Amino acid sequence: RFCRRHPGGARLLVSHAGQDATDAFVAFHVDKVLVSKYLKPLQIGELAPDQPSVEPTKNEMLVKDFRELRATVERMGLLEPNQLFFFLLLAHILLLDTAAWLILFYFGTSLMPFVFSLLVLTVSQVQASWLQHDLGHLSVFRKTKWNHLLHKFVMCHLIGASAKWWTLLHSQHHAKPNCFHKDPDIDMHPFLFTLGKKFSVEV
């Protein structure tokens, strides 16, 4: 039942089975105390002291350096969002949306007003897509609930797409970025991303 409620779906949970998923876990989960409550009944055991905690394909020193860097970045407060910036960004998007509508309302749908309105709306939609991306990553507000609410507003009402669909696919993308058949971003249109010898052969 937990898999159905998990934002990344069952595929995300399975993708880290048998691996040290510490870094992915830390990156994906804002409220680690809440998530630990879900994880407790799923725990099947601990690694023996003589077992390696890093995947054999990963450089242990590199992983250690990365974790130290992340801890330093968090201590410096560099991951703290500036909520004024996000508020002004939302206001800017709403203003551009309104301007695009008003251009057509006052000047009609002849070629020049239509093109100008289209340009204004395009800028607005691109800005909205980046705002929903940050909200979807739960990186704007401290409370997950507020991120979800505003994400739904921006994604569903301003862009006209499904917030749930985006969260599911984007979580899977970050779990296995650029892995063919595992990253839905390249699975949907692989022929746009067939760069490099290995990937071209795989496709």
Q: pLDDT tens digits, residue range 58-107?
A: 777 888 898 899 899 989 988 888 999 999 999 999 999 999 999 999 99
pLDDT class for 36, splitting at 50, 70, 90? confident
What is the pLDDT averaged over residues 183-199? Answer: 68
* Helix pair 144-152, 163-175: axis angle to 10 deg: 120
- Which is more confidently placed, 22 or 81? 81
Residue 123 has pLDDT above 60, yes or no: yes
For the entire predicted model, the pTM comes to 0.71
Handedness of CA 95, 101, 104, 107 (dihedral sign): negative
Note whether 171 and 7 are within 8 A (CB): yes
Residue 129 burial by CB count (10 A; 0-12/13-18/19+): exposed, middle or buried? middle
